[in-house]
Amino acid sequence: MNYTPLEEAYGIHHSTTNKSFYKPVTYSPVCIYCNHPSSMSLINDGGSFRRCDRCRKQFAATILDPPIQNYTNSTNHLKGTN
């Protein structure tokens, strides 16, 4: 029986090597509670978790970018066997 080495067991290998394919995700600054257009980022990752400047509530921001086109193809091998 062939065993997969532990170092490679959870590796995801994509067929593309174009680094311009990977771009930072853009998050909406609009508050999901009061629709105020201004909020501040709480995490230094581009703004996935934000706090509204008006109502001061913290929220997970919505993603503005379109979904990845080859998402189904690139994650097809991750489906479970059960």
Q: Per the domain annotation, does 57 fall within a domain?
A: yes
Q: Per the domain annotation, does 20 fall within a domain?
A: no
Question: What pLDDT sits at residue 55?
Answer: 96
Tell me how many domains the chain contains.
1
Per-residue pLDDT tens over the stretch 16-56: 555 555 677 889 999 999 999 999 999 888 889 999 999 99
Where does the pLDDT of residue 70 fall: very low under 50, low under 70, confident under 90, or very high at 90 and above?
A: low
The burial class, CB within 10 Å (0-12 / 13-18 / 19+), for 28 is: middle
Is the separation of the CB atoms in 29 and 39 below 8 Å?
yes
| Residues of the domain holding 31 | 25-65
Question: What pLDDT sits at residue 23?
Answer: 72
Q: Per the domain annotation, does 60 fall within a domain?
A: yes
Q: Per the domain annotation, does 70 fall within a domain?
A: no
pLDDT over threshold 70, residue 12: no
